[in-house]
Amino acid sequence: MIKFTDVQKYYGSFHALHDINLEIKDGETVVLIGPSGSGKSTLLRTINGLETVEAGQLLVDGQDVASSKTNLNKLRTNVGMVFQHFNLYNNKTILENIMLAPKIVLKRGDQENRAVAERLLERVGLADQINKYPSQLSGGQQQRIAIARSLAMNPLAILFDEPTSALDPEMVGSVLDVMKEIAANPAYTTLVVTHEMDFAKAVSDRVIFMADGQILEDAPTDKFFDHPETERARKFLSQVEHH
Amino acid sequence: MIKFTDVQKYYGSFHALHDINLEIKDGETVVLIGPSGSGKSTLLRTINGLETVEAGQLLVDGQDVASSKTNLNKLRTNVGMVFQHFNLYNNKTILENIMLAPKIVLKRGDQENRAVAERLLERVGLADQINKYPSQLSGGQQQRIAIARSLAMNPLAILFDEPTSALDPEMVGSVLDVMKEIAANPAYTTLVVTHEMDFAKAVSDRVIFMADGQILEDAPTDKFFDHPETERARKFLSQVEHH
Amino acid sequence: MIIKILTDNWQPLLTGFGYTIGASILGLIGSLVLGTVFALMEMTPQPLIRGIGKALVEFFRNIPLLVITLFFYVVVSHVLKINGFWAGTLALALYTSAFIAECIRGGVNSVDPGQMEGARALGLNYTQAMMQVVLPQGFKLALPSLGNQFINLIKNSSILSFVAGLDLMYQANVISGANLDPFNTYIVIGIFYLLLTGPLSVVMTKLENKLGGSN
Amino acid sequence: NHQRSQAQETDSLQTVKTTHVMRWGVKSDTRLFGLISPKTGQSEGFDVDIARAITAQIAKQTGTKIKPEFTPVTTSSKIQLLKNHQVDAVAASMTITPERAKVVDFSTPYFPAGQSLLVKRDSPVKNIRDLNRPDATIIGVMGTTALETTKQFAPQAKVIAMPDNSQAFSALQSGQGDAMTTDNAILYGFSSQSPNVQVVGGTFTNQPYGLAVDKGQTQLQHEVDQALGTIRQNGTYERLIKKWFGNIPGLDWRELLK
Amino acid sequence: MMLAAFSATNLHYLLGGLGITIGVSVISIIISFIFGTLFGVVLYEEVPYFSRTLQLMVNTIRNLPLLLLIFFTYFALPKLGLELNAFAATVVAMSVFESTMISQIIRGGLLSVGKGQSEGALSTGMTKWEALWYILLPQGLKNSIPPLISQFISLVKDTSLATAIVLTEMTFRSQVIYGQNPNYMIPMFALITALYFIVNYSLSLLSKWFERRLSL
Ligand SMILES: Nc1ncnc2c1ncn2[C@@H]1O[C@H](COP(=O)(O)OP(=O)(O)OP(=O)(O)O)[C@@H](O)[C@H]1O
Ligand SMILES: Nc1ncnc2c1ncn2[C@@H]1O[C@H](COP(=O)(O)OP(=O)(O)OP(=O)(O)O)[C@@H](O)[C@H]1O
Ligand SMILES: [Mg+2]
Ligand SMILES: [Mg+2]
């Protein structure tokens, strides 16, 4: 589904991603962890072309994201993304948020579009909020809407960038519940950047550990948490689990 | 040290604090928890007069905070406060941040002032950052500076309002370490609003649980966590410890 | 005294009020249209159009309204037959459009970049994301500053008095030249201007507080 | 300064004598009468020279040193400034009218002016009657008497007022109206400068100019009148008329001395 | 023919006008900055009664055309015994008007510093005024620099309005020059446009420079 080969990414002269080699298979659930500034978000954002890569090859669903011939807008309909700050459209209602992209990108008919949206809102437990605006909902609710908005495009893969770190602690659970369901579904390839170690342990098949723009470890979940290979990862784990 | 008797607080017509009765003794370490919007910050902020109270009596170090005769500026030199967003002075260096109030409020001489500041920076592990500006430091570092700034006034009590919730997870540990040291020191009365349950369990003598502007429980730490009395507290604990 | 000025001069005062309102409304419409065009020019990725947009905005922002007005009145009017009212109103629209362009651009720039990203991540192209998501929010954010520009525009319409535009300020000069009571005459005229700008500025303050509060 | 305004309340002449300065309001935009020269930055013209001569003469009469000082005024502001005591006297091509005589005191006439028309050379308009139709626009200057008289002579025409002479002339040049009307002498100023316009139809009113002081300043008014009489007799006046109006095509300066 | 407009005499005269334009601007900027800052602080601090009265005055004045204030100062204030020449009247009218505009900018700048900064200072025992002086004002003024410069640009442009009371500043002088000969109109417009543009664009570059430095 996703394949990085010797990918490099620079911000100006800053080398943000070093020699990334990584393959993620269809239906896999992978968690990406590492200290702040290690390049997790950057890596995630290269996958749907929100950031360009300077060298190497990055294949997503068989298409080369780095190539100027690739239609990024088309590719993005297959790769959903959920952001730390939700990024719901503030000027649209919940229902409109979900229906906008299917309508103008997929040209999905109104009736079907609405039916899909309502079913998804049901699934994330927010069927009663369809006519509200994002600012009228709590963070946890907004994030679940954002997930529904991604699902409405019938993506093959979904990227989560710290989806719970902007939430009040009591809101985290409801969002993680929705995410667990997605992770468990083999129809979706799921890639999650998170600091929720319990969640990572519970749902992921594999853990990628990054530091300083490099992938330091790439291991099955149990193996990573039980026997981290690098000193850097051990230190990191001890810090986040410290309290 | 701090004594609330039937304290009421309104924001316009909104009743933010209901019948608060609470006593905190010298040297005690108390943790305040509760859902978002329950009035934790409001309660904390009444103690050093950042919020006024509309009825009831609030004695701090023997003085009535509600009385217009009380010199709030004087009182505040005895009651330090540490904020969620640090609130370091952006226009001053680290050293100036710490030395400003002792200089103009306590009229502490330059030499002594600097010696105190340096000692405190040592204590929070940041002696090498004195000439930087706040924006050049990480959140965890800024928060430790903010704690040092409070300590420089030789306060009797320190109030912490979610001091770690704006921090990256890896930064939390270093701040909690400094706080633990303060909590353990009987010279300081310490009141902490936090969502870090492990920290609360480890350091506090007592837990206050608030909801909807009221104090629902006020119990020794072990008792509260092992046998919360109210349904509301049980539900809250299950949510924040959910993952 | 003030009552006497009103009763003696109700006709010129009413005329002046009408011309001031007329110039303000026409100026507003003109400058909104032109200002939006300038703003869109300034924001396009196309470098030439962007350069022209920026140059026009900088040009009109940095020279006095009076100079533009006089230019229309004594030079342009040789080519197009326009009287003082139209010369003043056109100058007003052109001058104000530069400021309106900046307001709109500022509004769009202050929309959280996450909004654009959120839309792009779902496969919308730049234009779709701009028109559906970013621009509507940008306009809303620009409303308070647009309102302030409208107040400025009303005040600036007094420029018409330099070119016999028959507006309030022109009438003030005619009236005070005749009754030799500039003190009370200008107070009366001031009240007329406040009738226009005052309520608008109250509305704008409310709006600013409201938008500021919800964010 | 306070002393000065106190003194003026009582007697302008006294103030002039004690401060040794006589402050004149003069035009800045009127060719031949008061026009700022970019070279000196000062107004120059017949009015200015008359004001100088009168000041010198009053100095002689009163036996004190007096210097003239000039403040530029516009047609609409000259009475204001006189009433505000921002100037002591006005020499600004000002027509003597009963209306104005109610608020200021005039000297005896010092220039025989009358209203006339300025049109483009290719204009069919020959006199004021040609303009008495609804689609005609006549350009006047704000605050001048010409606005009223024009309405009497051409009641059907539209009259628009410009803030000053040069803007009125610009308006004529740019086709804002069919003719510009104001005093003949001022119009000759424009025609002597721009070959594409001409004065037509002669004068249709008799509206001589006077020097003005604030109402009630009779002492100063007397001195001005006396000085004016003296310079007319000693040849100064004739010299100034000749200096400014000697070379205007179509105008015999001797006519002005009658 | 048109180039004759740029004779040495004319240029010398026009540049003298630019001098007056700049002179009026600089004096008005200094006065209105001082008073505007004072007023801005009073508005921000919400001093009982005083701030409300000031707010009413500020709102009245800033909602009037500057031109009206110029006329009023020059023609009407002498009735109250305050007699000013055209230069002084312009400076007074502009200073009053711009002070009100600047007070709003300073108040906005102080508000943009954020409540946290003053709470940080208050909670260490500083008084309201100490917090203002040491913490809020330095940051508030810094945040105000770009809008202040825009306001100064307006001020420079608005000096041209004093043409109405025969202040012989640059716009007035250009009219004197093209009054000599209509062929001078276009050259004069081009020249004063360029001169205004140079002065104001330099100011706006300064503002952009500050903005870039401040955002770092
Ligand atoms: N647009 C940008 N321009 C320049 N540098 C950037 C940009 N975005 C990110 N960086 C830098 O690239 C590095 C990696 O950033 P990235 O956001 O990918 O880190 P992260 O691992 O997601 O961190 P966090 O856990 O804080 O979100 C950081 O040093 C960051 O400062
Ligand atoms: N300045 C204010 N004006 C009006 N209402 C306020 C104000 N500050 C707080 N409130 C309201 O008072 C209630 C209690 O707020 P408070 O900030 O004390 O809650 P909290 O328990 O600290 O919540 P959190 O965990 O989100 O910080 C909330 O409903 C809040 O909206
Ligand atoms: Mg990130
Ligand atoms: Mg709180």
Q: Kindly list the partner chains of chain D, i.e. chains with 3 or more CB atom pairs below 8 Å.
A: C, E
Give yes or no for residue E91 having a pLDDT over 70: yes
Provide the phi-psi class of A8: left if phi over 0, else alpha when psi is between -120 and 50, else beta. Answer: beta
Mean pLDDT of chain D: 86
pLDDT, average across residues C30-52: 91
Q: Whose CA is nearest to atom 26 of ligand 2?
A: B36
Work out how many CB contacts closer than 8 A connect C with D: 54
- Could you tell me if the CB of B39 is within 6 A of ligand 2? yes
- Across the interface, of C118, C123, C128, the residue whose CB is closest to A74 is C123
Q: Whose CA is nearest to atom 19 of ligand 2?
A: B37
User: Rounded to 10 degrees, what is the CA torsion of B101, B104, B107, B111?
Assistant: 70
Q: What is the pLDDT at residue A242?
A: 53
CA dist A7 to A46, A50, A158, A192, Å? 10, 15, 20, 19
- C80 interface with D at CB cutoff 8 Å: no
Question: Which one-letter amino acid corresponds to residue C171?
Answer: Q
Give yes or no for residue D8 having a pLDDT over 80: no
The token pair at B194 is: 């936090």
The token pair at D9 is: 């309340």
Per-residue pLDDT band at D99 (split at 50, 70, 90): confident
Bridge partners, residue A2, by sequence: A24, A60
Contact B56, B7 (CB under 8 A): yes
pLDDT, average across residues C169-191: 89
Q: What is the pLDDT at residue C90?
A: 96
- Across the interface, of C121, C125, C136, the residue whose CB is closest to A91 is C136
Share of chain D above pLDDT 70, in %: 95
Å from B173 to nearest chain E CA?
A: 23
- B76 interface with E at CB cutoff 8 Å: yes
CA distance D244 to D189: 10
Angle at B52 between CA B106 and CA E130, to 5 degrees: 30
The residue behind tokens 């943790």 is B31
Bridge partners, residue B32, by sequence: B193, B208
Which ligand minimizes its atom distance to the CA of A39? Answer: 1
Q: Where are the beta strands (DSSP E) in B12-61?
A: 14-24, 29-33, 55-60
CA distance E70 to E165: 8
Å from E112 to nearest chain B CA?
A: 13
Contact B49, B157 (CB under 8 A): no
Q: What is the pLDDT at residue E187?
A: 93
E129, with CB counted inside 10 A (0-12, 13-18, 19+), is exposed
pLDDT, average across residues C43-65: 92
B61, B1, B28: which is closest to B182 by C-alpha?
A: B28
To which H or E segment does residue B182 belong?
helix B169-184
CA atoms within 13 A on the CB side of E29: 19
Mean pLDDT of chain E: 91
Q: What is the pLDDT at residue D250?
A: 61
In ligand 2, the atom with minimum distance to the C-alpha of B11 is: 4
CA distance D89 to D51: 9
- E164 interface with C at CB cutoff 8 Å: yes
Largest CA distance in chain A: 55
- What are residue D63's phi and psi, to 5 degrees? 70, 25
Q: What is the pLDDT at residue D5?
A: 46
Q: What is the pLDDT at residue B58?
A: 93
CA distance C119 to A77: 11
Share of chain E above pLDDT 70, in %: 99
CA atoms within 13 A on the CB side of B160: 35
The token pair at C204 is: 């704008």
- C 41-80 → E contacts, CB under 8 A: 58-59, 61-67, 70-71, 74-75
pLDDT, average across residues A187-215: 92
Work out how many CB contacts closer than 8 A connect B with E: 64
Give yes or no for residue E190 having a pLDDT over 90: yes
C92, with CB counted inside 10 A (0-12, 13-18, 19+), is buried
Contact D128, D117 (CB under 8 A): yes
Give which of D71, D73, D75, D84 to mutate to test E binding, by max E Cβ within 10 Å: D84
- Across the interface, of C115, C132, C140, the residue whose CB is closest to A100 is C132
Per residue in A82-98, pLDDT tens?
A: 999 999 999 999 999 99
Bridge partners, residue A207, by sequence: A31, A219
Per residue in B6-64, pLDDT tens?
A: 999 999 889 999 999 999 999 999 999 999 889 999 999 999 999 999 899 999 988 89
Per-residue pLDDT band at D108 (split at 50, 70, 90): very high
- Could you tell me if the CB of A40 is within 6 A of ligand 1? yes
More confident residue, B203 or D5: B203
Contact E36, E96 (CB under 8 A): no
β-strand A157-161 against A79-82: which pairing, if any? parallel
Share of chain B above pLDDT 90, in %: 73
> What is the C-alpha radius of gyration for chain B, rounded to an integer number of angstroms?
18
- Could you tell me if the CB of B158 is within 6 A of ligand 2? no
CB within 8 Å: D84 and E83:
yes
The residue behind tokens 């905190």 is B24
Give yes or no for residue D165 having a pLDDT over 90: no
CB within 8 Å: A173 and B243:
yes
Per residue in C70-91, pLDDT tens?
A: 999 888 877 777 788 999 999 9
Which ligand minimizes its atom distance to the CA of B195? Answer: 2
Rounded distance from Cα A58 to ligand 1 centre (Å): 19
Per residue in C133-169, pLDDT tens?
A: 998 999 888 988 899 999 999 999 999 999 888 899 9
Q: What is the pLDDT at residue D249?
A: 65
Share of chain A above pLDDT 90, in %: 72
In chain A, the N- to C-terminal Cα span, in Å, equals: 37
- Across the interface, of E116, E123, E138, the residue whose CB is closest to B76 is E123
Q: What is the distance, to the nearest Å, from the Cα of residue E195 to the centroid of all Cα atoms in its chain? A: 18
Per residue in E130-163, pLDDT tens?
A: 999 999 999 999 989 989 999 999 999 999 999 9
Q: What is the pLDDT at residue D81?
A: 87
CA distance D235 to D231: 6
Per-residue pLDDT band at E53 (split at 50, 70, 90): very high
Q: What is the pLDDT at residue E216?
A: 52
CB within 8 Å: C201 and E72:
no
Residue B70 carries which DSSP code? S
More confident residue, C62 or E78: C62
- What are residue B208's phi and psi, to 5 degrees? -110, 125
CA distance A74 to D172: 65
Rounded distance from Cα B39 to ligand 2 centre (Å): 6
Q: What is the pLDDT at residue C80?
A: 78
Which ligand minimizes its atom distance to the CA of B46? Answer: 2
Give yes or no for residue B242 having a pLDDT over 80: no
Residue D92: helix, strand or coil by DSSP?
coil
CA distance D119 to D136: 12
Give yes or no for residue B202 having a pLDDT over 80: yes
CA distance D62 to D72: 26
- A 58-87 → C contacts, CB under 8 A: 73-77, 80-81, 83, 85-87
- Across the interface, of E68, E71, E161, the residue whose CB is closest to C66 is E161
- Could you tell me if the CB of A173 is within 6 A of ligand 1? no
Rounded distance from Cα E130 to ligand 2 centre (Å): 27
CA distance A221 to A237: 13
Interface predicted TM-score of the whole assembly (ipTM), two decimals: 0.80
CA distance A106 to A129: 24
- Find the residue in E nearest to B82 (Cα): E120
Contact B206, B200 (CB under 8 A): no
Residue A11: helix, strand or coil by DSSP?
strand
Q: Whose CA is nearest to atom 13 of ligand 1?
A: A37
Bridge partners, residue D183, by sequence: D115
Show the 3-state SS of A41-69: HHHHHHHCCCCCCCEEEEEECCEECCCCC
Give yes or no for residue D7 having a pLDDT over 60: no
β-strand A14-24 against A2-11: which pairing, if any? antiparallel
Q: What is the pLDDT at residue E194?
A: 96
Q: Whose CA is nearest to atom 12 of ligand 1?
A: A16
pLDDT, average across residues E103-128: 92
Per residue in D190-207, pLDDT tens?
A: 887 787 888 887 788 888
CA atoms within 13 A on the CB side of D256: 26
Rounded distance from Cα B168 to ligand 1 centre (Å): 13
Residue D196: helix, strand or coil by DSSP?
coil
The token pair at E190 is: 């081009």
Largest CA distance in chain C: 70
Q: Output the pTM of the full model.
A: 0.83
Q: What is the pLDDT at residue D10?
A: 59
CA dist B25 to B2, B32, B45, B190, B191, Å? 7, 15, 18, 10, 11
Contacts of D27 (CB under 8 A, 6+ apart): D33, D34, D35, D43, D45, D47, D72, D73, D74, D75, D92, D93, D165
More confident residue, E1 or C192: C192
Residues of chain D neighbouring C182 (CB-CB closer than 8 A): 80
CA distance A142 to A139: 5
CA dist E179 to D164, D173, E164, Å? 11, 12, 16
- B105 interface with E at CB cutoff 8 Å: yes
Q: What is the pLDDT at residue D193?
A: 79
Share of chain C above pLDDT 70, in %: 98
Per residue in B85-139, pLDDT tens?
A: 999 999 999 999 999 999 999 999 999 999 999 999 999 989 888 999 999 898 8
Bridge partners, residue B139, by sequence: none
pLDDT, average across residues A16-37: 92
Q: What is the pLDDT at residue D148?
A: 85
Length of chain C: 215
Give yes or no for residue C212 having a pLDDT over 70: no
pLDDT, average across residues C198-211: 84
- Helices D218-233, D236-245: inter-axial angle, 10-degree rounding: 80
